Structure 1
């Protein structure tokens, strides 16, 4: 299963999710940001690659839905509601991501 995690800058939340979920057998994880200056900017190729797109906040879902509507057909687009107040690999963030993602994805 290919999971794409999306936040704004692709510096903290989505790279943490990529690192955590890449370790799970049978899962490929990547991350991107909605801003054009993100570490890895979101692209149509990444949307096409993903089976599930998991965004951190509602406004990310809006951006992704509008910009990539045609590419999202047949894919799940999930908002995790993870606020931007964590550091990379912060234990509380890792715990929160595991809890939130497990509601949508079975491992």
Structure 2
């Protein structure tokens, strides 16, 4: 089997198939689920950000350029679209922040 989708180092140990994807998915999702449960008890949500960051960089660690293209990760040459997407993301993040602040202020007053 030709594993051009995986980087050469990882191709020695893994195959680019459903089993590999499910193992990664279960590992990341299980850790994230357990951290969310723990964060609900302790109020410390910091480690969840680290897991989200790791899950975002996993394709760049394991996959070659061909593999990233096969799963739909490709670069864009349209700077205007990227800029609009960035600004929209910032605006919605700020809106969610304001909603969160507002909900805590109302909660503190009652």
What TM-score does the superposition give when structure 1 sets the normalisation length? 0.22
By percentage of residues, which structure has more helix? Answer: 2
What TM-score does the superposition give when structure 2 sets the normalisation length? 0.21
